[in-house]
Structure 1
Amino acid sequence: MQHYPLYLLMAAATVVSPGPGILMTLTNSLRFGLRGTMGGILGTACGSFIVAGVSATSLGLLLAASALAFTVMKWIGAAYLFYLGVKLLLAPAFRFDEIKTQPRGFARRFGEGMAVQLTNPKSIFFFLSIFPQFIDTQGAYAPQFLLLVGTFSSLIILIHTVYALTAQRARRWLASERGGKWVNKAGGMTFLLFGALLANANK
């Protein structure tokens, strides 16, 4: 695949850009420690794989062509982001000194990460626009598809882990009750902002 290095750069730039998934990784790292982030990170990576698969089907084409389908997905995604934002704003301040080293709820974190990715229609259109540019129509489709999506999902795991480690290093700075309240407010307002942007997005 001739243009794979270019795809790698584009995918990395997309993953490293701040968004709901990155915010979830940061807050999970601060709440539950490094281990507590892995469920959400793997859920986000798996969600990308599913979104890419859907994008390659007639459903993906329908979402790209149908204004109604796009609007439905857009509002589902926006509603979920609003829910996460309000939940954070109403939550008590983070108490980092009470974080458990072996947090429970891996499946729940996995589901949350996947939900954030699956309810974002922009992910579908990202894959719809990127794949045609980098897949060689003369070659076998499946191996190329798996390589591109596998690369994207692997980058999610790598980059989100770096974000989680960064949050761990900053935990002392945020260890006070005031810092915990700031994280809640900043995180909640960011989710609300992403929800508002998504609600106003056009195809």
Structure 2
Amino acid sequence: MASYGLFLVLATLTVLSPGPGVVLTISNALRHGWSGSLPGIVGIASGAFIVAGICASSLGLILAASATAFTVLKYIGALYLLYLGIKMWRTQRFIPELKATSPRPWRRFIEALSIQLLNPKAGFFFLAVFPQFIKPAADYCSQFFLLVSSYSLLVVVVHSGYALVAQAARGWLSTNKGARIVGKLSGITFLGFGVLMASASK
């Protein structure tokens, strides 16, 4: 498999970027503690696995089709990363206003699962970025399982980290200065990887 380490970096950056799942994890952690946020985190990770299966199940045929297909997917992935970079650069508020969450663990799981299934971030990642890390000549299923499992595990690790630091960091991240610093750093990182992906060869 090509560039597994780079895949982990890109996946980590994608999971780290603020979105509905991150906001839900922070909400759960602030209201129910770290352990209380775990059902939601597992729900988000499970949703990511399901989305990956839906989006990536037929990519083996696409990759084997032609060099043109690879080039098209490469530029789609690069554009997606550049879009995320611009979006993060323009971030004005890192943590939106938090909504109340369910007091029951199973409901927090279902709520998080639903949010992830409806969140386009994971879908775009597996449609646009995922193909760049699959070797057409190697066994597709084993590569698919490794990459998707790695992504889901990163969701658990990253969101657990968010939950642990949520209360301590909430005040700073809610300030204009904190939002600008995090947004600019994240934006530059995504833009850089977008340029690298655009210049990659098969």
Rounded to whole Å, the distance in 2 between the matches of 1:30 and 1:155 is: 21
What is the total number of aligned residue pairs between the two structures?
137
Please, which runs of 5 or more residues in structure 2 have no aligned partner?
A: 59-95, 175-202
| Alignment correspondent of 2:163 | 164
Q: Which runs of 4+ in 1 moved over 4 A?
A: none
| Alignment correspondent of 1:186 | none
| Alignment correspondent of 1:178 | none
Following superposition, the deviation at residue 2 of structure 1 comes to 2.7
Task: Report the AA paired with residue 136 of structure 1.
Answer: K
Rounded to whole Å, the distance in 1 between the matches of 2:134 and 2:97 is: 41
| Alignment correspondent of 2:153 | 154
Name the Cα RMSD after superposition: 2.9
Following superposition, the deviation at residue 123 of structure 1 comes to 2.3
Rounded to whole Å, the distance in 1 between the matches of 2:130 and 2:98 is: 36
The alignment-based identity, stated in percent, is: 48
**Per-residue CA distance 1:73-127 (angstroms, 9 max, x = gap):** xxxxxxxxxxxx9993xx6xx9xxxxxxxx9622111111111110123422220
| Alignment correspondent of 2:23 | 23
User: 1:40 touches 1:113 (CA, 8 Å); kept in 2?
Assistant: yes
Rounded to whole Å, the distance in 1 between the matches of 2:151 and 2:46 is: 10
Rounded to whole Å, the distance in 1 between the matches of 2:115 and 2:152 is: 14
| Alignment correspondent of 2:54 | 54
User: 1:33 touches 1:168 (CA, 8 Å); kept in 2?
Assistant: no
Q: 1:136 to 1:166 in 2, by over 3 A?
A: same
Q: Secondary structure at the match of 1:137?
A: coil
**Does 1:112 pair with 2:91?**
no
Rounded to whole Å, the distance in 2 between the matches of 1:162 and 1:50 is: 23
Please, which runs of 5 or more residues in structure 1 have no aligned partner?
A: 59-84, 95-102, 174-181, 183-203
Q: 1:120 to 1:170 in 2, by over 3 A?
A: closer
| Alignment correspondent of 2:7 | 7
User: 2:27 touches 2:98 (CA, 8 Å); kept in 1?
Assistant: no
Following superposition, the deviation at residue 17 of structure 1 comes to 0.9
TM-score (norm 1): 0.60
User: 1:52 touches 1:149 (CA, 8 Å); kept in 2?
Assistant: yes
Rounded to whole Å, the distance in 2 between the matches of 1:127 and 1:170 is: 30
Q: How does 1:99-138 map to 2 (within 5 A)?
A: 105-138=104-137
Following superposition, the deviation at residue 15 of structure 1 comes to 0.6
TM-score (norm 2): 0.61
